[in-house]
A and B are shown apart, each in its own frame.
Chain A
Amino acid sequence: METASEKSESLALKPDRPVGIIGYGAYVPRYRLPATQVARLWSGEGEGDLPVKEKSVAGLDEDVATMSIEAARNALSRAGISPSALRAVWVGSESHPYAVKPTSTIVAEAIGATPYIQAGDWEFACKAGTEALVAAIGLVGSGMGRYALAIGMDIAQGQPGDALEYTAASGGAAYVIGPADESLAVIEATFSYVTDTPDFWRRAHQVYPSHGQRFTGEPAYFKHISNAAQTLMESLGTKPADYRYAVFHQPNTRFPQMVGKRLGFSDEQIKPGLLSPVIGNTYAGAALIGLSAVLDVASPGDCILVTSYGSGAGSDAMHICVTSAIEERRSRAPLTRDYIARRSEIDYATYARYRGKIRMK
């Protein structure tokens, strides 16, 4: 009879050949909407318990395609490979600029990766980015292709006045996946935990998503992240102390801290990858840009646990170990914090204009 630990062992996803991150690149747009601006409009001047300090807002001329292009260029700069060596360009998002027409072809064309590639857009709420990343691990790990590009990027939309309006933000990160021996960080294993849990959704033709309020917490976010992270650690025989850093999907400031604590992680392990207080929730980009911020500061030998969460619902957990290649490649592109530091504060009116909330027709 199969024991519990044997079952866990068989659950971890491991590629046939070792793979890792060859290059990574973040993108955060320039504009910031302080949470107090949202509060002033919808709930009075009180600055009580706001979910984040401020959120990043994309400019008038930005969308998931343009932001993905910049993140991808940064990732390619770090990878040091020719874009034509990529065999897949995959973009995970819940705010693709077209309902029908791939974002990934625009990105692939702009970075010079066409035409000998797989290309496709991924959709799984906030875990579309890590879903694309796991697929890239599979493509490279099976030997089908040497390099693949996976991106998680969003321009998240929160309904005016809704709790999500404080946090729904813009940004994300891109990853070039390739053979482990060329990696700046090796991805040892992944594990995904998925159920049909309707905590957050958007029907076709609707501009703004709907959500289950407090239902998004315990049966959704906490259950899936905990199960994914826990099972991956069990299957690998690791414990929280084995990780220098842990990154969890970050819809606000509190949830990732709470889930981290429950799993046995300290604030020190979580803080370097916790960007939601200063950029908000970048949805499909959130876990991946948390990881890019960690890679910006990690040292060779450090292990990182990354666990995304996508409503609907599921979590992808990943065990990543940093190699010595990190030191040199890190400096080949702007750091995540460079983008965060590049900051112009805007008021609610400017935000409403930039994000198309003023009715023009």
Chain B
Amino acid sequence: MEVPRYWRLQKQRYALVGEICPHCQVKIFPPRDVCPECGGEAKQPFSFSGKGTVFSFTTMYDAPKGFEMNTPYTVALVKLEEGPVVTAQLTDLGEQPVEIGMPVEMVTRRIREDEEDKGIIVYGYKFRPVMAGTH
């Protein structure tokens, strides 16, 4: 992935930093230039808790470029507790079967790697089953 493109979205990717609309208070992720609820502009940064539930998911056996080394992997729509739904990989599933409605939590992981071992490593959010002992 091109460095500037990766770099400018680091905060969003590393830590699920989205936005809150100053007009209608809706929480937005990924960031948008116009609020999808009220049409207002100008947002303030908002850090999401990273807690959510699986809304839908799929285990992929055919990967696009940049992800070939990770198959099979599971991608999900995760409904965050603050409202928005995000697309993210699930990780650390172990033997646990995934189900719609399963509680998950955000972790920061390696997302992809291009140019073999020469390019930058792209880090970003993934979700895992909520860990026992997490409060």
Contacts and interface: CB of A to CB of B under 8 A. Distances in A.
A–B direct touch in complex (beta carbons closer than 8 A): yes
A110 B14 CA distance: 5
Interface stretch (B23-31, B56-64, B78-86, B87-95): B87-95
Contacts of A342: 92, 94, 131-132
Given A109-B10, A109-B14, A344-B95, A66 B135 contact: no
Contacts of B133: 334-335, 338
A334 B123 contact: no
A224 B80 CA distance: 50
B-side interface mostly: mixed
Nearest to A358: B69
Give the interface size class of chain A: 20 to 34
Contacts of B15: 110-112
A60 B93 CA distance: 12
Nearest to A69: B108
Give the interface size class of chain B: 20 to 34
A61 B70 contact: yes
Interface in B89-121: 89, 91-92, 94-95, 107-111, 116, 121
A331 B132 contact: no
A110 B123 contact: yes
Contacts of B10: 109
A295 B35 CA distance: 46
B43 interface: no
Contact of B135 (A29, A61, A332): A332
Contacts of B69: 60, 360
B3 to A, nearest CB: 11
A355 interface: no
Contact of B132 (A70, A98, A106, A341): A341
B11 interface: yes
5 contacts: A59-B91, A62-B110, A66-B110, A97-B121, A111-B15
Interface of B: 10-11, 14-15, 47, 69-70, 89, 91-92, 94-95, 107-111, 116, 121, 123, 126, 131-135
Given A69-B108, A110-B108, 12 more contacts: A30-B94, A60-B69, A66-B123, A98-B121, A106-B14, A106-B123, A109-B10, A109-B14, A112-B47, A342-B94, A344-B95, A361-B116
